[in-house]
Amino acid sequence: MSRSKIFKVLLVALLLTGLVMLAACRSDNQPAAGGDGGIEGTTLVIYSTFTTDFAEPIIEMFEERYGVNVEILFAGTGATLARISGEAANPQADLLWGGGLFSVIPEADLFEDFLSINEPYMMTGQENAEGNITRFITSARLLMVNTDLIGDIEIRGYACLLNPALRGQIAITDPAASASSFNHLINQLYAMGENNNPHDGWDYIEQFIINVDGIMLPGSTAVHHGVADGEFIVGLTYEEAPFPHIEAGAPVKVVYIDEGIVATSTGVAIINGARNRAAAEAFINFVTSYEVQVFTEANLFRRVARADVPSTGALVANAELNWIPTDTAYILYHREAWLDKFMELWMRHN
């Protein structure tokens, strides 16, 4: 057996051992991942927007638990949704795993109805309201700060980004092309609008654009790498982005936004006409189970959708954050108008 194969076997064994320990700690009213439903030996095809290093440990556990072979294709949200739509007459995959809800919900007719056995344990606001898009993880917007460059500049939230000392030192990307950036635009509008009214946040957005000083990076990855590499003092990024840099010893820290945080979620859904629906259902029940949600938050640094998952210390506990309630349908209705207004202000000042 090769060294890589030995490592893979050992990794699976360690992960499964962790799940067994977690299951032993689970209270009696919390369901486990569920039985195999006669799916052993089948092949589950997944289209995923997650990174390989995030997805593979969970896939390994699922394959080992159920005896299912998983084939997975990784791509961005837009490309994945376009592929599912293009294959509608002859589906080539069973599941979409990933994709922000602001992008997926408008395409909800691509997916079949299904409610997970774990639905009763979801956080308030993380319910499967559509009937066919199960919440898997959620995320808080945050600011990533380079501690070598910050000096005595105070950064506690969005208001601090108007400090003239930060002019040209703020890393962002195009909200029309990046889900992370669009989510920050939404968060800024709600957090900086009077009484969290997003329509009152545009005066702030205009001043923010002026302080960005015409620098728009090509993608969300460039934002957190730009801060970690010392090209920018602060970046507007997604919650899990800074942790690999912190673990690698980069001089960065995270700042949760004082003025309030809009939660954004990522889902999992069965594609219309899925050939392996039983395996797809088992996968959704598995990734939303107590064991896997605890593993995901503790080891993969993602804030999960279940309400009963304890904080591990890596992420700030939900109860300690200033969450702003929002209406996803309302945001989706105004999405194009808000993106147009952002670009209008951008072009006016650049």
pTM: 0.77
User: Do 341 and 220 fall within a single domain?
Assistant: yes
Q: Do 247 and 153 sit in the same domain of this protein? A: yes
| Residue found under tokens 């460059």 | 149
Asked if residue 123 and residue 26 are part of one domain, the reply reads yes
Distance CA 131, CA 151 (A): 49
The structural domain count of the chain equals 2
Domain that holds residue 19: 3-139+264-315
Residues 133 and 209 in one domain: no
| CA dist 86 → 41, 83, 93, 132, 273 (Å) | 28, 5, 12, 19, 13
Count of CB atoms situated within 10 Å of the CB of 30: 16
pLDDT in tens, 201-220: 999 999 999 999 999 999 88
Which residue blocks in the chain are alpha helix, DSSP H? Answer: 3-25, 52-66, 77-86, 101-104, 179-192, 202-212, 220-228, 242-247, 277-287, 290-300, 328-349
Q: Same domain for 42 and 97?
A: yes
The C-alpha atoms of residue 86 and residue 266 are separated, in whole angstroms, by: 22
Q: How far apart are CA 350 and CA 342, in angstroms?
A: 12
Distance from C-alpha of 89 to C-alpha of 272, rounded to nearest angstrom: 9
Pull the structure tokens for residue 94. Answer: 């069973």
Counting residues of the chain whose pLDDT is more than 90, the rounded percentage is 72
Q: Is 311's pLDDT higher than 90?
A: no
Q: Mark whether 184 and 304 lie in a shared domain.
A: no
How far apart CA 171 and CA 224 sit, in angstroms, is: 8
Nearest to 33 by CA among 266, 317, 337, 296: 296
In tens, the pLDDT along 139-197 reads 899 999 999 999 999 999 999 999 999 999 999 999 988 888 999 999 999 999 999 99
User: Residue 171, SS3?
Assistant: strand
Query: Does one domain contain both 82 and 174?
Result: no
330 and 279 together in one domain: no
Rounded CA gap, 243 and 299, in Å?
Answer: 11
Q: Are 126 and 204 in a shared domain? A: no
Same domain, 210 and 344: yes
What CATH number is attached to the domain comprising 340?
3.40.190.10
Residues 236 and 257 in one domain: yes
Q: 157 and 103, same structural domain?
A: no
